[in-house]
Every structure is written in structure tokens, then in C-alpha cells.
């Protein structure tokens, strides 16, 4: 309040003093409004913590785990512990039978930057079968990853894997879109390493509310449906169109349609007639001199 007090003490013309008071009041009102919105968004989104779990044994079974993307390395080249702990948590879910498949979703705006590919490789190195991992290359934001998991990959319920603060926002978004999501909380980096991310998360929650209730935003891209559990399709290495090699698609034997009653009866009659004729011929041959 000291700068405000000094501002009011400036000896100016009465009109300038009045203008300064109005400006100061508007500034204080703006700051109070922003603080109230941040507090409301924090309180609203944090309520989703009731759907998150720290203990893998307590996590309910879901067919698919959705791992939210982040870079493997920080800007300076040092390892990103957010990435490391999310991979570890996803592998823990799979190895404990809590999920059958893992969907890695992240940013792939260029060929050089590919979060899903990094996560897929890390999961394979952790012992997860490649056939159990699916990639979403258009998870530019948390909202994109959540909505695409439903609209593109056909999952109306799944387990989100990220840090606790991120899971809360992801589940809040999922529940808004009618998705029955729960979260498995990966370990958090130390307070020093994560302070910038935590500060950014405060404003991300506010933007999340604006996206859902004011701007009515959806994902940047959707696309053709991809069946989790089916053949892994050719997908771009980046959203600008470069392709990755396709995994071999397993051959599927054609399914024989069941015969109706009339066809079954006719088939049985034909088989019986053929058998009788063959038997009669054999008997005649045997009794011939």
C-alpha cells in the first residue's frame, strides 16, 4: 500500500488527483478480481482430488491408462523428473494388472519435438510390451489429450497418469465431458525443481475454467477413430505429416457365419444321402463274385 499512499500524496491539480484515485481504485479492483478468480479456480479444480490415488493397490481397474505428456529433458539438457516419474507410474499400473493398455499423449508439433515417441521408448525400456502402447501425437494441451482419448480412441473411462496437481485438472476436464476418469499420482519432484511448474499450474487452472465455461474450447485436431486393442495404425511422427514405419498388422481369419435351420437341414440331408450311397456301393462291391 506504500506506493498507493505516495501516489495520492503527489501535489497535482485537483483533476489529476481525482483521475489518480479512479485509476488506483480500478487497479485494486482488477487485482482483487484476479485473486478471487484464481482462488475460485484452485478450489473448484482441487475438488477432483477425490478421484486420485497415491497407492497402486487402491487404484480401480481401467482398460486404458492415459499418460499426459511432458518433455524427457529440460531446456538446459538435464533430465525432467516429471517425465521420469510418470513413466514409472504408468509401468507400475501395467505390471500390477490395473490397466491392459497405455495411451501416451503429448505434443508433436514438429519432427524434432515428439513427446509421445519419447514416452513410448521409455515405457518399452521399462519392460512394457510395444503392442500394449498406443500414441496420441496431437495432445497439445491437457484438454486435447482428455477429449481425444474419448473421441478418437473411444475411451469413456480411463486412468490418468501424471503428478497430483496435474491429475486434478485433467480429471476436472474429463468429468466436464462426461468421462469417468480417475488419476494415479506419479511422484512429485522436489519443491525447488517444481516451483515454476506449480506457479504455472495456478494460472492453467484459471484458463481451464475459461476454456470450458466461457470460450467453449475443444481439441485442436480430432481425426479418424483408432481402436485400442486392434492393429496399431500408421500415425504421423508429427502433425505436419511425416510418417512413421507401420507395425505389421496381424492376419485375422475370416469369421464363418452360422447356418440357418433350413441350410443346416439341407446340408445334413445331403451328407446323409452321400454316406448312404457310399455305403451301398461298398456293400455291392463286397458281395460281387
Read off the pLDDT of residues 234-284 as tens digits, 9 standing for 90 and up. Answer: 654 444 444 444 444 333 333 343 444 444 455 455 545 555 544 444 444
Higher pLDDT, 24 or 283: 24
Higher pLDDT, 199 or 71: 71
Please state the φ and ψ torsions of residue 183, each to the nearest 5 degrees. -125, 140
Measure the CA dihedral 91/96/101/102, to 10°: -30
* Predicted local distance difference test score (pLDDT) of residue 25: 66
* Predicted local distance difference test score (pLDDT) of residue 211: 76
The three three-digit cell numbers of residue 52, written as one number? 486420485
Is residue 143 within 8 Å of residue 169, measured between CB atoms? no
The three three-digit cell numbers of residue 19, written as one number? 483521475
Comparing CA positions, the residue from 102, 153, 106, 138 lying closest to residue 123 is 102
Q: Does pLDDT of 59 surpass 70?
A: yes
Higher pLDDT, 209 or 269: 209
Comparing CA positions, the residue from 3, 2, 1, 4 lying closest to residue 22 is 4
Q: Does pLDDT of 197 surpass 80?
A: no
Lowest-confidence region among 46-55, 227-236, 247-256: 247-256
Q: What is the DSSP string of 221-274?
A: ---S---BTBPPPP-BSSTT-PBPPPPPPPP-PPPPPPP-HHHHHHHHHHHHHH
* Predicted local distance difference test score (pLDDT) of residue 245: 42
Note the pLDDT tens digit of each residue in 131-181: 999 999 999 999 999 999 999 999 999 999 999 989 999 999 999 999 999
Comparing CA positions, the residue from 181, 208, 219, 183 lying closest to residue 86 is 183
Q: Is the dihedral of CA 113, 116, 121, 126 positive or negative?
A: positive
Higher pLDDT, 8 or 177: 177
pLDDT band at 114 (very low <50, low <70, confident <90, very high): very high
The mean pLDDT value of the chain amounts to 75
* Predicted local distance difference test score (pLDDT) of residue 115: 94
Q: Does pLDDT of 288 surpass 50?
A: no
Lowest-confidence region among 29-33, 100-104, 105-109, 117-121: 29-33
Taking the C-alpha atoms of residue 268 and residue 9, their distance in angstroms, rounded to an integer, is 107
* Predicted local distance difference test score (pLDDT) of residue 196: 66
* Predicted local distance difference test score (pLDDT) of residue 179: 96
Amino acid at each position: 500500500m506504500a506506493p498507493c499512499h505516495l501516489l495520492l500524496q503527489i501535489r497535482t491539480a485537483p483533476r489529476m488527483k481525482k483521475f489518480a484515485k479512479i485509476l488506483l481504485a480500478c487497479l485494486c479492483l482488477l487485482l482483487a478480481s484476479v485473486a478471487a478468480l484464481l482462488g475460485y479456480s484452485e478450489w473448484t479444480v482441487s475438488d477432483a482430488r477425490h478421484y486420485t490415488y497415491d497407492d497402486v493397490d487402491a487404484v480401480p481397474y481401467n482398460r486404458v491408462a492415459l499418460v499426459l505428456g511432458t518433455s524427457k529433458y529440460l531446456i538446459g539438457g538435464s533430465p525432467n523428473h516429471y517425465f521420469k516419474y510418470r513413466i514409472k507410474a504408468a509401468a507400475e499400473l501395467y505390471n500390477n494388472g490395473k490397466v491392459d493398455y497405455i495411451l501416451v499423449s503429448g505434443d508433436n508439433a514438429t519432427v524434432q519435438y515428439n513427446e509421445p515417441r519419447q514416452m513410448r521408448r521409455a515405457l518399452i525400456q521399462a519392460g512394457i510390451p510395444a503392442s500394449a502402447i498406443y500414441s496420441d501425437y496431437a495432445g497439445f494441451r491437457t484438454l486435447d489429450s482428455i477429449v481425444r482419448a474419448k473421441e478418437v480412441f473411444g475411451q469413456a473411462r480411463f486412468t490418468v497418469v501424471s503428478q497430483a496437481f496435474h491429475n486434478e485438472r485433467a480429471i476436472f476436464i474429463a468429468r466436464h465431458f462426461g468421462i469417468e476418469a480417475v488419476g494415479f499420482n506419479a511422484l512429485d519432484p522436489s519443491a525447488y525443481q517444481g516451483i515454476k511448474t506449480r506457479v504455472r499450474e495456478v494460472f492453467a487452472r484459471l484458463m481451464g475454467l475459461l476454456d470450458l465455461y466461457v470460450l467453449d474450447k475443444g481439441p485442436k485436431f480430432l481425426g479418424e477413430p483408432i481402436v485400442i486393442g486392434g492393429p496399431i495404425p500408421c500415425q504421423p511422427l508429427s502433425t505436419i505429416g511425416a510418417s512413421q514405419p507401420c507395425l505389421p498388422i496381424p492376419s485375422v481369419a475370416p469369421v464363418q457365419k452360422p447356418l440357418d435351420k433350413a441350410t443346416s437341414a439341407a446340408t445334413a440331408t445331403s451328407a446323409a444321402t452321400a454316406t448312404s450311397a457310399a455305403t451301398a456301393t461298398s456293400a455291392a462291391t463286397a458281395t460281387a463274385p
